[in-house]
Structure 1
Amino acid sequence: MNEDELRRRVAGFIRDTDGADRAAALGAQFDAGLAWVHHPAGAGGLGLGPDRQAEVDALLAAAGRLESWERNPMGIGMVAPALMAHGTPAQRALLRPIFTAEHIWCQLFSEPGAGSDIAGLATRAVRDDRHGVGWVVDGQKTWTSLAHTARFGLALTRTNPGAPKHAGLTAFLIDMRAAGVQVRPLRDLTGGAHFNEVFLDGVRLGDDARLGDIGGGWAVATTMLASERAAIGGSVGERGSGAIALAVGTWRRTGSDPDRRVELTRLWVEAEVLRLSALRDQRTRAEGGPGPGASGLKLRRALLEQRIARFAMELLGPAGLVYDADAVRAVGPAPDDPVWTWLQSQAYTIAGGTSDVMRTIIGERLLRLPKEPGLPRDTPWAQIPR
């Protein structure tokens, strides 16, 4: 499909969905193959190169019709790539309600005893063929964003404790309304509760809920984590937007302190360099998918946005000591509040993999440095001290 044909398809979609409600328009976009153009026909795409999505998004943005992936961040940013890479045809049918956000998804990876060491998780899935081929899942997950609103979750479980920790994992799709699933909110520094702990107590699953091969869960996990880091580090906004826009606005509202102008300018330049780096990474990913370089962008963005958030809060002076957590509990996030932004930013170097994990990936996979000392990779999970 050449550029003119793609333009006509986008124009036809825009014309045919004029006045349609959001869900209907997003469904029509998926059906037209304009959701993920690199997917095959019928899966939201046209079988084109992934670089062509930028053309579609530019046309949709010009018409005011480009929707943010943040409407279903886990589903669009992480689960959809995993379904395409590892799912059955029946499982790929879940892509449409993911794109339309009719089904919100969450990621059931982290655990109290295995945070950044995801491969060390202990949640068990045991075969149970008494009522047909199936599984029973028991365990606890934590820091699960959106679990309280999610319709489905993608869980990583241990199916073979006698295998090395990376080899004994299997991924499953879980109905968050199923018997045995309990979600409890976890309140963070801001006073909000967008993430949760999830208890899985005897949750029964059919084998059709398994995503990928038995023992192939690590491949599913790496697909999702690479996509998550690419989404966090490689998201590209307009020049001067995002965290730096809040800092500039705060600087102006608080009297434009001339003594801090140089510091603000340096932060602005660093934010623009990061934005341009993310644009370059987008082109690289369009050619070969997300790789270890996404970890570098994720690390840089997390550290820079923490510095920007601290700068904006400090501009408030004594007012920066005042924070109304009760209001956040009542009405939700306050991204225009520098204090809320600073509190929220403390999670940036943890969410999506800690900064130390990012540095390890960069060191070992990009710089080819020796691996960090530890137990041999083939040590059975059951023999690893916990």
Structure 2
Amino acid sequence: MPDHAPQPVDRQLPTDEARDLLSLVRDIVQREIAPRAAEEEEAGRFPREVFTLLSESGLLGLPYAAEFGGGDQPYEVYLQVLEELAAARLTVGLGVSVHSLSCHALAGYGTKEQQTEHLADMLGGGLLGAYCLSEPASGSDAASLRTKAVREGDDWVITGTKAWITHGGVADFYTVLARTGGEGAKGVTAFLVPGDADGLNAAVPEKKMGMKGSPTAQINFDGVRVPGSRRIGEEGQGFAIALSALDSGRLGIAACAIGVAQAALDEAVSYATERRQFGRPIADFQGLRFMLADMATQIEAGRALYLAAARLRDAGRPFSKQAAMAKLLCTDAAMKVTTDAVQVLGGYGYTADFPVERFMREAKVLQIVEGTNQIQRMVIARHLAGPDSR
């Protein structure tokens, strides 16, 4: 059965421009995304045309500077756009978040010449990006990555394999972290690699329990040659660049999680007020009413936390701890809310006739990507008590 468009959330937006922007997003959601989300996810279809439309509408570069084709929007606004998109279809919301993550290195650490040459196309020229940090043997321990970049004349030659790459095989460019020096974090450098580079090949996409419309694949670099002008930042600066991107990316995941949770709550409330048992709507029974109240409370708490972290970022203040907290709280809440939504719908919730089973399967991955929630707890504890002394 087709998904319904998400119910509008009453948002507090800082400007008339932001309110107009959100109206545009909701129009695109209602016309182009929500009506086909269930069918296309079941078929495993990647909605490239939706990303093209979002790019043409100025929605793929919202948090970046207007001088390079971005939207000049604060993170407080950008994240609420992500939430709206994810509520309609997580493949789209998460895809926008990943694309934004893949632009972060060049926007934040590239030279003016690099930004002038590449950023306009990346932010509003119809291109789609991917972010290559994880590897088959280095996920949470990203500093131990093995993909190598060796200098040959004015070029760099990249060899190795990246894993769990969202948009793997369909991206137009890849932000790649590769080892150019010794062991550990200080030997990592960032590169901007074209998607059609010789020697770059995507493996068969992973078969996932959710987000079937979003390709996730290993990317093999078999002597991929990139010019020195595509190195981002200084040699050995790549890991610091990656960590700064992940702080922002975690807020994107938090917003997407709240979008999925909100969609699940909307479906649960709709069903509970329409479904009748024992002569009255099941929403009249206290057990279900309390369950819905708890779901709504978790969503509001998560939304408040990710927006508070976004406002710190917008003010130029440290937000790493709050980003980890937001990612942790929001994704755990999404898992709980979507599981409870299945319970509210009972047997129907366990069928593909209603979208809540898909929401539950999608919520699970959000506890894993951009650093597992166990890693988020480590990050938070490090801010509170200092690094582990071992």
Query: What range describes the TM-score normalised by the shorter chain of this pair?
Result: 0.7 to 0.9
TM-score between both structures, scaled by the size of structure 1? 0.73
Quote the Cα distance in structure 1 between the aligned partners of 2:223 and 2:114: 23
State the structure with more CA Rg. 1
Shift of 1:283: 2.1
* Compared CA separation, residues 176 and 155, structure 1 to 2 (3 A): same
2:309 matched to which residue of 1? 281
> Where do 1:118-267 residues align within 5 Å?
118-129=142-153, 133-160=154-181, 162-163=182-183, 165-184=184-203, 185-190=205-210, 192=212, 194-234=215-255, 241-252=262-273, 254-255=275-276, 256=282, 258=285, 259-267=287-295
Quote the Cα distance in structure 2 between the aligned partners of 1:292 and 1:357: 12
Shift of 1:24: 9.7
- Aligned to 1:81, which of 96, 104, 129? 104
3-state secondary structure, aligned to 1:102: coil
Quote the Cα distance in structure 2 between the aligned partners of 1:152 and 1:221: 16
Per-residue CA deviation, residues 112-139 of structure 1 (Å, 9 max, x unaligned), is 100111111111111112xxx1111111
Quote the Cα distance in structure 1 between the aligned partners of 2:304 and 2:329: 13
Per-residue CA deviation, residues 165-184 of structure 1 (Å, 9 max, x unaligned), is 11000111111211111112
3-state secondary structure, aligned to 2:67: coil
Quote the Cα distance in structure 1 between the aligned partners of 2:347 and 2:224: 51
Quote the Cα distance in structure 2 between the aligned partners of 1:213 and 1:232: 28
2:113 matched to which residue of 1? 90
Quote the Cα distance in structure 2 between the aligned partners of 1:72 and 1:263: 32
Quote the Cα distance in structure 2 between the aligned partners of 1:373 and 1:226: 23
Matched, 1:103 2:127: yes
Q: Which runs of 5+ in 1 are unaligned?
A: 1-5, 15-21, 62-67, 325-335, 375-386
* Compared CA separation, residues 359 and 7, structure 1 to 2 (3 A): closer
Quote the Cα distance in structure 2 between the aligned partners of 1:217 and 1:227: 16
Shift of 1:250: 4.0
Contact 1:247 1:308 in 2 (8 A): no
Contact 2:75 2:313 in 1 (8 A): no
3-state secondary structure, aligned to 1:187: coil
Per-residue CA deviation, residues 220-275 of structure 1 (Å, 9 max, x unaligned), is 1012111101222256989x944432332343455435232211211111211222
3-state secondary structure, aligned to 2:191: strand
Contact 1:320 1:339 in 2 (8 A): yes
1:344 matched to which residue of 2? 362
Write 1 or 2 for the structure with the bigger share of helix: 2
2:296 matched to which residue of 1? 268
Aligned-partner residue type, residue 160 of structure 2? G
Task: Give the structure, 1 or 2, with the largest relative contact order (CA under 8 Å, sep 6 or more).
Answer: 2
Contact 1:171 1:217 in 2 (8 A): yes
Matched, 1:312 2:341: yes
Aligned-partner residue type, residue 292 of structure 1? K
Aligned-partner residue type, residue 367 of structure 2? T
Quote the Cα distance in structure 2 between the aligned partners of 1:243 and 1:359: 26
TM-score between both structures, scaled by the size of structure 2? 0.72
Aligned-partner residue type, residue 162 of structure 2? K
The number of residues matched between the two structures is: 326
Contact 1:72 1:98 in 2 (8 A): no
Contact 1:27 1:96 in 2 (8 A): no
Contact 1:37 1:53 in 2 (8 A): no
Shift of 1:348: 1.3
Shift of 1:322: 4.1
Quote the Cα distance in structure 1 between the aligned partners of 2:75 and 2:362: 34
1:372 matched to which residue of 2? 388
Quote the Cα distance in structure 1 between the aligned partners of 2:64 and 2:102: 16
Shift of 1:45: 6.5
3-state secondary structure, aligned to 1:186: coil
Shift of 1:110: 0.7
Shift of 1:27: 6.5
Q: Which runs of 5+ in 2 are unaligned?
A: 1-14, 24-49, 85-91, 277-281
* Compared CA separation, residues 101 and 309, structure 1 to 2 (3 A): farther
* Compared CA separation, residues 36 and 178, structure 1 to 2 (3 A): same
